[in-house]
Amino acid sequence: MEFAMTSRRQIFRHVLPACATLGLLTAISAGDGHASQKTPEEVYEGRPNNLDILPEGAVTTSPIRLVVSFNLEYAPNSPEAEAFLRTWYESITALPDDVDLEIQRQVSPSAFQYAVSLTFNNWEEYRTYESRPEFLQYYYDHWKPHVTGAEERAYLLNSLPGQ
């Protein structure tokens, strides 16, 4: 695929979401089950990203919000879907990470019915979470078998100047 005439923003918007578990895949590739402390530049090396337009150092010091939109193999609002969401919440809150969680249901037209967001204090905490053996076990035992499609995006949270 030729990217010479495509802006980085267009690449990020269209290609990166297809890598639904980009952070997870890089955590697994560490192979030892320990936290991958790669820098953002190392994680996204060779992949489309927006790192070059973000304030210097912001990715490693600012809060990071991970938003995963997804569909389940179950009918919306079914007892099975509700049980899946409850299990997700209980599994993630049982981890020792300092993370704010939200479960959302799509209102506007979208390819996905649900979304979850996880807000971490910084990049290191985000990477530690994705590398935890308990998270990886949940991902393989519960998430993958029941999620029929997903899109993952990581956002840098920052305030406006003067705030």
Bridge partners (DSSP) listed for residue 100: 119
Alpha carbon 59 to its chain centroid, in Å, reads: 14
Output the CA torsion sign for 75, 136, 62, 46: negative
- Phi, psi angles (nearest 5°) of residue 78: -75, 160
pLDDT at 42: 78
Query: 97 to each of 30, 94, 117, 124, 125, how far by Cα in Å?
Result: 20, 8, 14, 11, 7
- Spatial contact of 97 and 129, defined as CB atoms under 8 Å apart: yes
Token pair belonging to 23: 């952070």
Residue whose structure tokens are 């406006």? 160
The pLDDT tens digits of the residues spanning 6-53 come to 333 332 333 233 333 334 333 333 334 334 466 777 777 777 777 777
Rounded CA-CA distance 20/70 in Å is 10
Give the pLDDT confidence score for residue 4 in this predicted structure: 35
pLDDT reported for residue 161: 64
Mean pLDDT, rounded, for 122-141: 90
Q: Could you give the domains of the chain? A: 8-156 (3.30.70.100)
pLDDT top residue among 39 and 90: 90
Q: Helices (H) and strands (E) in the chain — how many of each?
A: 8, 4
